[in-house]
Amino acid sequence: MSATKAATPEVQAIADKVKPQLEEQANRKYSLFKAVEFTTQAGQGTNYFIKVQVDNDDFVHLRVLESPPHENKPLALQGYQTDKSKGDKLTVF
């Protein structure tokens, strides 16, 4: 896993693209959805682990798979963890 870095506009765009998948799976709507930090893990494509702020003191961790370009697949939400705090570290899940 790479070092944790501050979220970039590209990472925010990835989070925004999987937000509908998260809202459907978590059965919850998020008005605030701000990517704060992320890390990546290479494998069959790239796994992004993204910490997203969804309320003042409420965060969600996302695991998003970006498939290799030749597969031409959309971004996929592979997992998520709710009830996280700002201090919780991003880990593989």
Neighbours of 54 (CB within 10 A): 20
Question: pLDDT (tens digit, 0 to 9) for every residue of the chain, 93 residues total?
Answer: 789 999 999 999 999 999 999 999 999 999 999 999 999 998 888 999 999 999 999 999 999 999 988 888 889 999 999 999 999 999 888
pTM for this model (two decimals): 0.91
Report the C-alpha gap between 48 and 77 in whole angstroms: 10
